[in-house]
A = this chain, B = another copy of it.
Amino acid sequence: MSFQTEYKKILSRLDATLTDCVPIGLPERLSESMRYSLLGGGKRLRPVLFLSTVSVYGKTPSDNDYLCACALECIHTYSLIHDDLPSMDNDDVRRGNPTNHIVYGEATAVLAGDALLNLAFELLARACACDAKYVGVLSEFARDSGALGMVGGQAMEFEQETDVDAVRLNKINSLKTGKLIEAAFVGGAIAADRACDIEKWRAIARSFGAAFQLCDDLLDSDTDERSLVAVLGTDRAKEELLRLEKETEELLDGIDGDTEFPKSIASAFLLRVTDGL
């Protein structure tokens, strides 16, 4: 199966699971607000990375694996809704559409984010109830998305001093963006019963996560003064991206399994920038 065909197949099953996972019978405005952000596009990078990691070991992702993948997308989506709030980044537009609080108001946006985070753990609990190995996945996701992970990175960004340096920016990025990518890879290895490979996947996540963030910054024409691209300069940032891309590929070679699919995903996401080099 070609990369594109396989990717589309995964996306279609993912979208069907995501559509089903918001329970019915909710207060209408809350339900609409949750669906607006969860189902309104998005690259689905994190759930696809999770599922592709399961596949690396020759396993076909199960319904429980799809629940975990959807949980990851719920966590990612809640973080975007809260990140866009007026008191946070104050963004009016996301993925070309008005942000959640612009459409539904701030109170509903806060609650929709809260509800999506709760929903993530409800989905994970369903997987855990079927098979105790998913407790490890849930545990990894909770740690990576919390105060020592993604939320910690968001908080560091707000505590940002005016005098930014590359070390601190790398730390913020590794938490804010990197930790959910780590959750995807490490969670996928646990779901595939390969907890022995966790440290290898953490290294892959660090490398790919940093590349992904650099790539996003390079593509963002409206470069934040506090981004790594602004600090390193475009040329050095592109060099660093190429280095990280190569490193990701080499680290994937160290996994005993078929890593063609994650390699293709990495290229597809990173080549958006390096193609033009």
Interface, chain A (partner B; CB < 8 A): 22-23, 25-31, 34, 78-79, 82, 85-88, 105-108, 110-111, 113-115, 117-119, 121-122, 125-126, 128-129, 132, 135-136, 138-139, 142-143, 145-148, 151-152, 154-156, 158-159
Are B117 and A159 in touch, CB under 8 angstroms?
A: no
Instruction: Known A129-B136, A136-B129; judge A27-B152 contact (CB<8 A).
Output: yes
Q: A118-B145, A132-B132, A132-B135 are in contact. Are A27 and B111 (CB under 8 A)?
A: no
Cβ contacts under 8 Å, A151 to chain B: 30, 111, 114-115, 118
Q: Which residue of chain B lies nearest to A158 when distances are taken between CB atoms in the complex?
A: B107
- Taking a contact as CB atoms under 8 Å apart, the answer to whether A148 and B110 are in contact is no
With A110-B82, A110-B85, A135-B129 as contacts: A159 and B27 at CB distance below 8 Å: yes
List residues of chain B with CB within 8 A of the CB of A22: 147
Nearest chain B CB to A109's CB is how many angstroms away?
8
| A-B complex: 8 closest residue pairs judged by Cβ atoms | A118-B146, A87-B106, A125-B139, A30-B155, A115-B147, A122-B142, A27-B155, A121-B142
A82-B114 in contact given A27-B156, A155-B108 (Cβ < 8 Å):
yes
- Which residues of chain B are near A125, meaning CB under 8 Å? 135, 138-139, 142
The residue in chain B whose Cβ has the minimal distance to the Cβ of A79 is B114
Contacts of A114 in B (CB 8 A): 78-79, 82, 113-114, 117, 151
CA distance A22 to B151 in the complex (A): 14
In the assembled complex, how far is the CB of residue A157 from the closest CB belonging to chain B, in whole angstroms?
9
* 20 residue pairs bridging A and B, Cβ less than 8 Å apart: A22-B147, A26-B148, A28-B159, A34-B147, A87-B105, A87-B107, A87-B110, A107-B158, A108-B158, A111-B154, A111-B158, A113-B114, A115-B151, A121-B138, A121-B142, A122-B143, A125-B142, A128-B135, A129-B136, A138-B138
Which B residues lie within 8 Å of A146 (CB)?
A: 115, 118-119, 122
